[in-house]
Amino acid sequence: MCSSFASLADVLEWRERQRVIPEHERIWGPVSEVEAAKVGCIRAAASVVIMCAIAPSVLNGAMQCIPVELLPRADDTAEELAARLGESTFLDNAHVLNGGNGKRGRFGQKRRRLNETCYPAPRRKSWSVVVHPEEPDEDGDAVLRLFNYSAYGRLAEDVRSAAMPTPIFELGVQVWLAAMPYLSIQSRRNPPTHCQMLLYYVLFASAMGRHRDNYTVRHLKALLDGAGAIGSTHANMENSQRIGSEVLLYTEGTAPMDFILSFPGADHLDAGIASYMKRSMFTIRLGHGTLMVFKDVDDQFFCHEAEFEECVLGAAEAAGYRMCFVFRWCTSVKNFRAPPDCSFKSSVQPPEVSVVDV
């Protein structure tokens, strides 16, 4: 496992370093308004997917940070895999609605630990570059100051972050450099400061439900009326991601997965997301070495989701999985307990401008 960790100083150092853009091949996007209109969509899509050549030593280093017991085995059953994941102290400890609806039954509980179930939600691990190193707080608990990524609907006790291993940071640098031609000014200044690793398993028919990361239908309506509020977030939650920055999704694994942008019909722009339309033009196959540069403007209009195609699930390959490293630029800094707990401990004073601006 990894023994060294990336710090805020490592991030800021890249503002002065020479940058060499690696070769890549664009395999999807952007989608023009003319092309989008052909399938009933009123907006263009600015995101792109590229194939980038990550140095093998960098990729191997990042993969070695993932415990082997988290990867599915050819002879696994869904129950065996769930039991092994449930024992892991590496993964973020999340609690989800029991049975997907929170019904307790006679003696049940409203929520269950995701990692010990066969539920389709992806398993996660959250990392941040170290803003301030580990030290005792006023309660005597060992805490370290890290960037925090907020997510709508997540319980406070489920918010996790750990110091980012240097090999994960180096992978982030590689994908950042590869994505440079497509990045906004907000993302070009320095490498990402946060990574969330998502694990999808064929045995669980893993999928990511339809959602937006930072925006709502209400925000979309305001945007289309010409009065969109920059930085509008779900339920007025803190906006933890740098406004206007991209999200970089780099994937590896043994089973391909589809990333889908869905959109409202032209005559029903304020419709609920359950009625959004999916079209092949906006369906992107993620496989070995794919990097999606997901633009903020697309998060405002489109919803996104991810799933295994039926033919992949029907192949009954127990060892099938897709691992997605989701790199972001975050501005919210919190105190987190030291490993292995890695849970949120307390808020901190608003960070100095130099921290917020990375």
pLDDT at 348: 83
Q: What is the pLDDT of residues 250-266, one digit of tens each?
A: 999 999 999 999 999 98
pLDDT at 83: 96
Q: Is the pLDDT of residue 191 over 60?
A: yes
Q: Would residue 192 count as lying in a domain?
A: yes
Higher pLDDT, 301 or 108: 301
Q: Would residue 200 count as lying in a domain?
A: yes
pLDDT at 239: 61
Q: What is the pLDDT of residues 148-182, one digit of tens each?
A: 987 655 666 678 899 999 999 999 999 999 999 99
Q: Would residue 262 count as lying in a domain?
A: yes
Burial of 338 (0-12, 13-18, 19+ CB in 10 A): middle
pLDDT at 107: 46
Q: Is the pLDDT of residue 292 over 80?
A: yes
Q: Would residue 264 count as lying in a domain?
A: yes
27: left (phi over 0), alpha (psi -120 to 50) or beta: alpha
Q: Is the pLDDT of residue 63 over 70?
A: yes
pLDDT at 279: 97
Q: Would residue 116 count as lying in a domain?
A: no
Q: Which residues contact 261 (CB under 8 A, 6 or more apart)?
A: 45, 47, 282, 283, 284, 298, 302, 303, 304
This model's pTM is above 0.85: yes
d(CA 43, CA 34) in angstroms, rounded, equals 9
Is residue 51 within 8 Å of 25, Cβ to Cβ?
yes
Q: Would residue 231 count as lying in a domain?
A: yes
Which residue carries 């939650």 as its tokens?
A: 237
Number of domains forming the structure of the chain: 1
Q: Would residue 42 count as lying in a domain?
A: yes
Query: Which two structure tokens, joined as six digits, stand for 36?
Result: 């989008």
End-to-end Cα distance, the chain: 28
CATH code for the domain in which residue 211 is found: 2.60.120.590
Q: What is the pLDDT of residues 307-324, one digit of tens each?
A: 999 999 988 788 899 999
Nearest to 209 by CA among 74, 76, 97, 55: 97
d(CA 289, CA 171) in angstroms, rounded, equals 12
Is residue 358 within 8 Å of 8, Cβ to Cβ?
yes
pLDDT at 234: 47
Domain that holds residue 52: 14-92+128-356
Q: Is the pLDDT of residue 130 over 90?
A: yes
Q: Would residue 217 count as lying in a domain?
A: yes
Element (H, E) at 280: strand 277-286
Is residue 265 within 8 Å of 40, Cβ to Cβ?
yes
Q: Is the pLDDT of residue 238 over 70?
A: no
In this prediction, residues 41-54 reach a mean pLDDT of 94
